[in-house]
Structure 1
Amino acid sequence: MDLQITVFLLFILFTAGHSLNCYECMSVTGSCSGQTVKACTSGFSQCMSSTVVTQVGQMTSKVHTKDCAPVCQSGSMNVGIMRMSTSCCNTDQCNVADAPDTSNAPNGKTCYSCDGQSCSNTVKCSGAEDRCIKATGNFGGQSLVLKGCASKSICDATSVSNFESSSCCEGNLCNGAQSVTQSFLFLCCSLLSFFLLH
């Protein structure tokens, strides 16, 4: 009996001191080639890798981010001017690869998106984006609307986000069209920071 208790206590001692190690980087110029390994702090139980592609007019930017995360949902979302893909895992240094950019894999689904003036634009979904999303919220005193394509995991995650209301649906163009007059770019930045920091 004493041997079992000793083995159990040794197991607790060795596992309690182990923290997750994840790659860390942020790159706005291609892949994360200079990534370093970081020991995650308490409460951060997942490694994440995220790729965000923003296109405004003829300007395109691609940002790769890797870090520890307290909560992370693998999936992708496309809201017209911004596409985001996130990969999550929970073993040491499992986020070595960049999150995939699935824009080259259209799946035939189409959803409405907003551009700051109107929500009657459409966006073609790709990869695992099998839902249309619509989220509304009040940020800095402004009422904001976000529409686009999303994977099921992203839809499930938005139900706990800081949006006042969010909904996902499965049919083509099922997220409706309507006019908007708010700052759409502000909403995209708020949404991006939510997914990267939560």
Structure 2
Amino acid sequence: MITDKCCNSTHPLSFHLLPLQVKMYLIVPILVSLLLPKAYSLKCFECTPGESGACTDKETDCLYPTQCGSSRVVSYMGDTKLVDINAKSCAVPAECVSAAMNFGITRTTIANKCCNTDLCNSQSVPESTKAPPNGKKCFTCTGTDCTSTLSCLGDEDRCISTTVNTGGMKITMKGCASKSICVGDVSRALGPTMGVDMKCCEGNLCNNAQSIGLSLLLLVTSMVSVALFY
């Protein structure tokens, strides 16, 4: 109930009888004060990994539409883990995806998770388990020969050909990849700023067989570089 003072008298006014403009004038400040802190600011943990791959959490404010994000990048050569990097930061929902790149000799998984409550990214992302073959096949490189075939795993639903500029040399790799590697934010992160030229296709063995003059060591070195700097 709202009271109105006029001519030294007070009488009640019903809210529903007020003009629309007056109602909005009264309601908007209340809504702004209640909703703005929640809609535009979220407290999250942030950590940037050092050379060892470890990082220390600190609190930060993430502005709308970002959420609290956690990321883990793991690269393997066979059963040997080459790289294991954890990071936390503000993240837009489009970045909250998981992906994998599989070149046979090396396989890299990228797991990103997001949440939208204060300090909800306190835990690191669990390491991905090895996925089973999914029936898709792509060409891959063995030594200097890129005519071998590779069985793709899990959500690796694309064949990929990449050219990496490293140490003044162009190195080509072929294999399997997830869709999110080929499009969106992950693809842009691995794009021109890192000297990576990627081409993806959807059919079986669509990434063309050919022989290239590359050593196994260069293939591994370039793949680790991609994982480290993502």
With the length of structure 1 as denominator, give the TM-score of the two structures: 0.72
Letter in 1 for 2:174: K
Q: Structure 1 residues 137 and 12, CA, compared in 2 at 3 Å: closer, same or farther?
A: same
Corresponding residue for 1:85?
110
Q: Structure 1 residues 35 and 172, CA, compared in 2 at 3 Å: closer, same or farther?
A: farther
Matched, 1:189 2:224: yes
Deviation at 1:6, TM superposition (A): 1.1
Matched, 1:168 2:200: yes
Aligned partners of 2:138 and 2:175 also within 8 Å: yes
Equivalent-residue separation in structure 1 for 2:59 and 2:122 (angstroms): 11
Q: Structure 1 residues 85 and 7, CA, compared in 2 at 3 Å: closer, same or farther?
A: same
List runs of 5+ in structure 2 lacking aligned partners: 1-23
Corresponding residue for 1:45?
66
Corresponding residue for 1:29?
none
Aligned partners of 1:49 and 1:99 also within 8 Å: no
Deviation at 1:134, TM superposition (A): 1.2
List runs of 5+ in structure 1 lacking aligned partners: 27-31
Q: Could you say what secondary structure the match of 1:146 adopts? A: strand
Equivalent-residue separation in structure 1 for 2:172 and 2:90 (angstroms): 26
Q: Could you say what secondary structure the match of 1:103 adopts? A: coil
Corresponding residue for 1:76?
100
With the length of structure 2 as denominator, give the TM-score of the two structures: 0.63
Q: Could you say what secondary structure the match of 1:175 adopts? A: coil
- Among the aligned pairs, what percent are the same residue? 30
Aligned partners of 2:159 and 2:200 also within 8 Å: yes
- Equivalent residues in 2 for 1:23-172 (5 A)? 24=47, 36=57, 38-39=59-60, 45-46=66-67, 47-55=69-77, 59-61=80-82, 63-68=84-89, 70=91, 72=95, 73-80=97-104, 81-92=106-117, 93-94=120-121, 96=123, 98-99=125-126, 101-114=128-141, 117-157=144-184, 160=188, 161-162=191-192, 163=195, 165-172=197-204
CA RMSD for the aligned pairs? 3.7
Q: Structure 1 residues 38 and 180, CA, compared in 2 at 3 Å: closer, same or farther?
A: farther
Matched, 1:177 2:209: yes
Corresponding residue for 2:14?
none
Deviation at 1:37, TM superposition (A): 6.2
Larger radius of gyration: 2
Q: Could you say what secondary structure the match of 1:104 adopts? A: coil
Aligned partners of 1:44 and 1:68 also within 8 Å: no
**Paired residue total:** 191
